Structure 1
Amino acid sequence: MTRFPFNWEKSIQAIDYLASLKPGITQYYIGKIIFFADREHLLDYGRPITGDRFVAMEHGPVPSTILDLLKTDSGYPDEIVEELHDRIAIEPEGNKLHVYTKGEDKFYSLSGSDKEYLAEALEKYGSMSFAELKRLSHEDPAYESAWEKPGANNEMDIELWFAELADPEKAKQQFVEAAKCTG
């Protein structure tokens, strides 16, 4: 399975950027918005925004590292957790985490297309209900394939996304080459 390296700075800035556009966004919506934005950006530009690995969970695809990072006991190095908390505030409410920007407004690691795709995904999916997002994300071929495997939290093969392109084999070849260059 081909992967891109996870980019901490871009991922933290993507969380902050979404919180700046929609104060109080929950971890569930952050996960879904990043899933849709990463997928579309990969299909259009040959690279994802965050490089996170997506796993198939009960309520749909989850960017594994990003959602773990939002937990208070993530276990990630202190400097990464501090960088996140310098940029955002997390307010728990029941089983939800509401995320707010601290107004850094500097997204130097995010390209123009990264911000564009995050904003477009938020606009398109950010007001959908939990049930709508769950249904829509369950239709993803990489999710379906991972969900059918035995065990829990199976990683999704994002190469399956290329099936919807005009020349999926050429796209997969370019994807593998791009992943090698950034890895």
Structure 2
Amino acid sequence: MPYDPQKAAQTVAFFAMQEGGSINVLKVVKLVYLADRESVRTRGHPIQDEARVSMPHGPVNSVTLNYLNGAYRDDGGWSEYLRDRANNDVGVVQKDLTTDHLSSLSEGDLEMLESTWDQFGHFDRFDLADWTHNHIAEWQDPNGSSTPIPLDRIMTAVGLENPIERAKELESVNRAANVFARL
């Protein structure tokens, strides 16, 4: 599937809802990455279809971070769920938002998000960044820049067999989905 800004916004909104309606950007990008990683481990594929990179504060989903930073004019549905970033926080548009409103996320996606929140939601942003430095094998210090984290490296780190073949197969499925999505 191509990158889905609305699905990514709903993912961020889920975590913001858990945090009381607003969440720190550094914390949420770590949670989004960790949820994708858990999804790869348990289901063989990430929640979000996007590039991931190692950055100085740990691994992040690159396109989602760019959306959080306001890099796109056409937000693809992002603003239906999230307010613009302010003071390093992002918040939900509707205070009464519930998981029933997050229709782009499957039950499996929501399970991954809930599991991630249960495990990491109590961390503050800096403790979470430190945790990713010490426990995420695929993260490599980019020395002030950013470096790609290929999906097969995540698959290897979480213990999946045949990660290169699995990543190529998933990429092939995603390419086909992109073609059909454009039709």
Query: TM-score range, shorter-chain basis?
Result: 0.7 to 0.9
User: 1:6 aligns to what?
Assistant: 3
User: 1:180 aligns to what?
Assistant: 172
Q: Give me the whole-angstrom Cα distance separating, in 2, the residues matched to 1:100 and 1:9.
A: 13
- TM-score normalised over the length of structure 1: 0.80
Residues 3 and 50, structure 2, Cα contact 8 Å, conserved in 1: yes
Residues 15 and 30, structure 1, Cα contact 8 Å, conserved in 2: yes
> Where do 5+ consecutive residues of structure 2 fail to align?
176-183
User: 1:78 aligns to what?
Assistant: 74
User: What is the aligned-residue RMSD (CA, Å)?
Assistant: 2.3
In the alignment, structure 1 residue 137 sits paired with structure 2 residue 132: yes
| Matched residue type, 2:3 | F
**Distance verdict in 2 for CA 1:141–1:5, change over 3 Å:** farther
Residues 54 and 155, structure 1, Cα contact 8 Å, conserved in 2: yes
- Of 24, 27, 30, 1:26 maps to 24
Query: What SS is found at the alignment partner of 1:142?
Result: coil
Give the number of the structure whose residues are more often strand, by fraction. 1
Q: How many residues align?
A: 170
| CA shift digits 1:4-60 (9 cap, x unpaired) | 742223112211222222221111111011110001101211211011221111111
- Of 75, 83, 89, 2:83 maps to 89
Runs of 4+ in 1 over 6 A off after TM superposition: none
Q: Give me the whole-angstrom Cα distance separating, in 1, the residues matched to 2:146 and 2:156.
A: 23
**Distance verdict in 2 for CA 1:114–1:167, change over 3 Å:** closer
Identity of aligned pairs, percent? 21
| Matched residue type, 1:162 | M
- Of 14, 19, 43, 1:17 maps to 14
- TM-score normalised over the length of structure 2: 0.80
